[in-house]
Structure 1
């Protein structure tokens, strides 16, 4: 936008906001509006008026996503402050913001008009949730400002106590003083006089907003319910004039009925918005979660109602059952409908419970609703087997078998020709490896998975995905970062002759001289003695590290037990286990074409170079089987070539720093150099993502996927290792 434009926008919108505000205030004075009579007595010199105007003007220069967010959320907040607070500052800020919108259009008139982008499911949910939360903040605004004189302030004025004599004195001269208005709005909606009950709509609105952001259907029903009830109760109050009955001051403000109608329109407008966007909130809770929610609120309602009725009966003179029930039930309703009548406990705990029973129930309701919103239906247990079948029949690349591991979920295209393995952490859906499909179905599979994630309120990313898929993501406007390099050895070129193979040939020959043998097997075929040695070797390796064991794309002992995984053991002359490697299958259109290294550990005291011996032996075995390729997997955050040319330089530097910091703990760069002994081809693996602004959340999600169960002690050990 530029410095001079910012300064100009600040001055222009600040002046326009003030002038327009003064003009509207003068008209409101002549119409008898209360807020105009009060705030006309003092000057308004608030720098936030110009600041907000400049921000809204600057939104015209922002990308579509942030432009939409700034305008919609900013204006929603300003309108809420104006309707509830009602002071001149709020009105001037809103007018300055509107002037900023117009100024932004003028300042960008010479530029190409930005294309209109339809909001994604995720963006629609985010904005709707924010508007529900913002409009629910009204009671808090009244509480914090102390004097709410906006059109909607009377609806939530039960936040304060009622002093009828004080109100009468303040309004005796009919001059609409600030104290008079504050008192009237307080008396108007006094009800129970309990602050907690007055804040129930705010509490439920915030819970609903939290669930709406995640696309939850239950949150949609809650938001509809809260706004519909508020509109209904306000309408009933206006129709019966019950809002004015607590005071005898009828002539304070003849415009009050109009304000009440406006108070009805706000929740009605929210209901309309929610109805229009209802298809965006389709994530249903599991049946178990619904049953738990229903049982919780049912028990809470019965227990609290019965307890309160007993207390009412204990301190009253022979109250009828229905009278006690009516008195109790009115305590569960918002303060807007007036003060409950009937028998009332007067002292001690009975008074406290009777007064706060409604707030206590709604607190239990809110907590139970959070539990309901966390409930998620799970996929069928046979999805993993279906994914494995898909992997065999199409092409999942050299790392596709990782998608079968525990912790991954699976998505399939409607025609069953494509699949994606993923796991969700912090609402980030991390697709593992390449899409599993034939080359002709790549674009359809990727786009289908993105739509699936959008419908579930997840941010989709593809992690450890090969470079050949970059064009499909580039067409989507996505960005990429090189996060690892896979080392792939074409088996037709694997030889142990020549100078380039010296570092592999020497350990292999030494192993043969020292009497090492190999066993190519599966877990089910392992002799019991070797199983025990393998378990002991693995446990010893983990114990010596004292660092969190990384998972996600790094397999452990559980993955060795898969019947499709083959294991190569290096066994010493005395039958002792010296090293173990595991090899995942690589299928292409129903045919086994290669193996990928996963698990790799050596015993203490093993022959130097035993891992080279084991890997070389495995390569020779695969070559004899007629396989095409041996992959040594990738090393996270390690690479031998420059990163993506289009990657953000700051992000590239950050990844380089992170690689250097993690090297002492995990040795990824050293591992990549080690694999270079086998003269591999280097295949970059990327993180494909939509927006740089998502990277912090994506980084946290990937970190959680790698270390899902690390203990505090393990994190401390990792921190000490990183520190030096």
Structure 2
């Protein structure tokens, strides 16, 4: 025990700012409320945002990064402070870490508040929706500090810290969309610049060639972070991100189908119609799973990337290109294709369309990176296994589509909100395989009312993506194609391409 105590004292003595900061956050939480955070009006006095800053609370960029809103947030904040701020202090010393912690958060918060005020004044929807929100967020300062410290790390860890920290910040902005997420992203960018100022030798443009293993780890990590982004829409308390229509899962107000279709016609893009159509589309377990399962395919692919699987590369590329294509079509091209010669669309319609179309860039960038770096994944599956996978997925898609059309046609008279024909069903069948977040602004011609029709309507896509996931796992775990190769050739190939122990 004495040895452990001496070691602990040594760690604390070597990281005085981290120890003092962790203790400060804990004591302040215990004094002001560790379960639900500080109570009003103290919460308002400590928090930051357009309101407090405009009211002259000059101290709010500092106090807001020392308090938490809930017990879960407090526990996570203490863990990340000990780990990430501790690493930052180990890399760049005490005074630089203290400077980075408070300076990057202040810059990120003030810049974010300025963006909110300008955007809100111009009528931008997101800024107007969140202007009244106030923020307590330790993670803004933690992100800025660790990004600053990346300049003092070796080439290997510098690249990892910068890539993963930036990706996490971007994904949170897209899928959570709170003001604190914007402040955190700006603080991370400020930390990137501050790190270069504190250590000019660590230039942003410098690049050291990575090993095959390092490339695999980075790409697998990036793919994992972007894949779990939509899950944030399920667990965050307030979901204002551009890509988080799944937030409506938490409402109990399911609209009446007939009245909904009569009220929400094509391009009547009101907020209430978008909300009600999304609620109806995700009303059940099947649509929820359909929104998540394509992301699980990416997680399976990330596992394959760590194993050096070339099949995992093309699986991830295919899914990301599909997501990018769906974003471009359903958030931009398809809505525009249906416009009349004299459309009456509000500025908000165009704003949402342009921003959501840009969201296609994230999966597109990931796909391009995987294609460009595919040589780092030399483990090729057997051609027979790939053919079997493609046939399985194709047959599953065709069979499930046929089941939907057949059941729908059998129930055409009474199973939907109106009488349907085979052309209606064929025109709708592809959307049964598409996650609901892409359909949030698509008009609906009919909805199921029969129990059997509802089950098929909501679940054929879920079954398809489950088949795609389960069939992919044995392909990536199977042996590589070495047929006809001698032992010497295998060794030479491993030396050239890189391999694990």
Superposition TM-score, scaled by structure 1 size: 0.47
CA deviations 1:381-428 (Å, max 9, x no partner) are 8846xx6xxxxxxxxxxxxxxxxxxxxxx8444xxxxxxxxxxxxxxx
SS at match of 1:45: coil
- Name the counterpart of 1:108: 199
Are 1:241 and 2:335 an aligned pair? yes
Distance 1:345 1:227 in 2: 30
Aligned match for 1:369, one of 469, 472, 485: 472
Relative to 1, partners in 2 of residues 1:297 and 1:43: Cα closer, same or farther, differing over 3 Å? closer
Deviations 1:297-327 (A, max 9, x none): 3443344334333422332239655554444
**Preserved contact between residue 17 and residue 96 of structure 1 (Cα < 8 Å):** yes
TM-score, normalised on structure 2?
0.66
Mapped partners of 1:343, 1:110: distance in 2: 62
What is the aligned partner in structure 2 of residue 356 from structure 1?
A: 459
Q: Which residue of 1 aligns with 2:361?
A: 265
Instruction: Specify whether residues 32 and 16 from structure 1 end up closer, same or farther in structure 2 by C-alpha distance, changes over 3 A only.
Output: same
- 1:356 CA displacement: 0.8
Alignment of 1:227-376 (within 5 A): 227-237=320-330, 238-241=332-335, 250=346, 255-317=351-413, 321-335=422-436, 336-337=438-439, 346-376=449-479
Contact 1:158 1:187 in 2 (8 A): no
Asked whether the equivalents of residues 196 and 203 of structure 2 are also in contact (C-alpha less than 8 Å), the reply is: no
Matched, 1:38 2:141: no
- Indicate the residue corresponding to 1:192 in structure 2: 281
> Does the Cα contact within 8 Å between 2:448 and 2:454 map onto a contact in 1?
yes
Residue 56 (str. 1) matches residue 150 (str. 2): no
Q: Quick check: 1:14–1:96 contact (8 Å CA) kept in 2? A: yes
Aligned residue number for residue 686 of structure 1: none
* CA deviation after TM superposition for structure 1 residue 242, in Å: 7.4
Change (3 A) 1:326 1:24: closer
Out of 196, 215, 219, the residue aligned to residue 308 of structure 2 is: 215
Q: In the alignment, which residue of structure 1 is the partner of 2:317?
A: 224
Q: How many Å apart are 1:372 and its aligned residue?
A: 1.6
Residue aligning to 2:96: 5
Structure 2, unaligned runs of 5 or more: 1-91, 260-269, 414-418
* Segment drifting more, 209-218 vs 77-86: 209-218
Give the whole-Å Cα distance in 2 for the aligned partners of 1:244 and 1:70.
45
Q: 1:277 to 1:89 in 2, by over 3 A?
A: same
Which residue in the other structure is 2:235 paired with?
144
1:41-94 alpha-carbon deviations (Å, 9 max, x no partner): 233231111111111112222221111111101101101111222211001111
Q: Secondary structure at the match of 1:370?
A: helix
Partner of residue 85, structure 1: 176
User: Is the contact made by 1:44 and 1:88 (CA closer than 8 Å) also made in structure 2?
Assistant: yes
Residues 362-441 of structure 1 correspond to what in structure 2 (within 5 A)? 362-380=465-483, 383=486, 411-413=490-492
When residues 160 and 258 of structure 1 are mapped into structure 2, their CA distance, relative to the original with a 3 A threshold, is farther
Bigger helix share? 2
Distance 1:189 1:272, change over 3 A: farther
Q: CA RMSD in A?
A: 3.7
The equivalences for 1:456-471 within 5 A come to: 458-460=499-501
What secondary structure does 1:215 align onto?
coil
Deviation at 1:254, TM superposition (A): 5.5
Per-residue CA deviations over 1:592-617 (Å, capped at 9, x if unaligned) read xxxxxxxxxxxxxxxxxxxxxxxxxx
Change (3 A) 1:187 1:323: closer
Q: Is the 8 A contact 1:332 1:358 kept in 2?
A: yes
Partner SS for 2:114: helix
What is the match of residue 166 of structure 2?
Answer: 75
Q: Deviations over 1:81-114 (max 9, x none)?
A: 1122221100111111111122222222489999
CA deviations 1:526-551 (Å, max 9, x no partner) are xxxxxxxxxxxxxxxxxxxxxxxxxx
Paired residues in the alignment total 381
Q: Distance in 1 between matches of 2:152 and 2:230?
A: 34
- In the alignment, the residues of structure 1 paired with residue 174 and residue 446 of structure 2 have an alpha-carbon distance, to the nearest angstrom, of 36
Q: Which has the larger radius of gyration?
A: 1
Which has a greater percent of strand?
A: 1
1:95 — aligned with what?
A: 186
Output the CA distance in 2 between the equivalents of 1:74 and 1:249. 38
- Cα deviation per residue 1:239-296 (whole Å; 9 max; x = unaligned)? 3337999xx9956566223312322322332233233223333432112322432343
